[in-house]
Structure 1
Amino acid sequence: MSSKTTVRNLLAAVMTGIFSVTLLDAIFHLSSIIQPGVSNIYNALGTQIAPNMVTVVIFDFRAYDTLGESIILLTAGLVVLLIFGRGLLGDKQ
Structure 2
Amino acid sequence: MSSKATVRNLIAAVLTAVFSVTLIDAIFHLHDMINPGVSYIYNALGTQIAPNMVTVVIFDFRAYDTLGESIILLTAGIVVLLIFGRGLLGDKQ
TM-score tier by shorter-chain length is: 0.7 to 0.9
Q: Between Structure 1 and Structure 2, how many residues are aligned?
A: 92
Shift of 1:27: 0.9
Q: Quick one: higher RCO (CA 8 Å, sep 6+), 1 or 2? A: 2
Q: Is the 8 A contact 2:47 2:56 kept in 1?
A: yes
Q: Is the 8 A contact 1:47 1:53 kept in 2?
A: yes
Gaps of 5+ in 2: none
Provide the residue aligned with 1:19 in structure 2: 19
Provide the residue aligned with 1:85 in structure 2: 85
Provide the residue aligned with 1:4 in structure 2: 4
Read off the aligned partner of 2:77 and give its amino acid letter. G
Provide the residue aligned with 1:65 in structure 2: 65
Q: So what's the TM-score if we normalise by structure 1?
A: 0.73
Read off the aligned partner of 1:33 and give its amino acid letter. M
In 2 relative to 1, CA 16–69 (structure 1 residues): closer, same or farther, beyond 3 Å?
same
RMSD: 2.5
Q: Is the 8 A contact 2:46 2:56 kept in 1?
A: yes
Q: Is the 8 A contact 2:47 2:53 kept in 1?
A: yes
SS of the residue aligned with 2:88?
Answer: helix
* Correspondence list, 1:45-56, <5 A: 45-56=45-56
Q: So what's the TM-score if we normalise by structure 2?
A: 0.73
Shift of 1:87: 2.5
Shift of 1:19: 0.9
- Of stretches 33-42 and 7-16 in structure 1, the one that deviates more from structure 2 is 33-42
Identity among equivalent pairs (%): 84
Provide the residue aligned with 1:32 in structure 2: 32
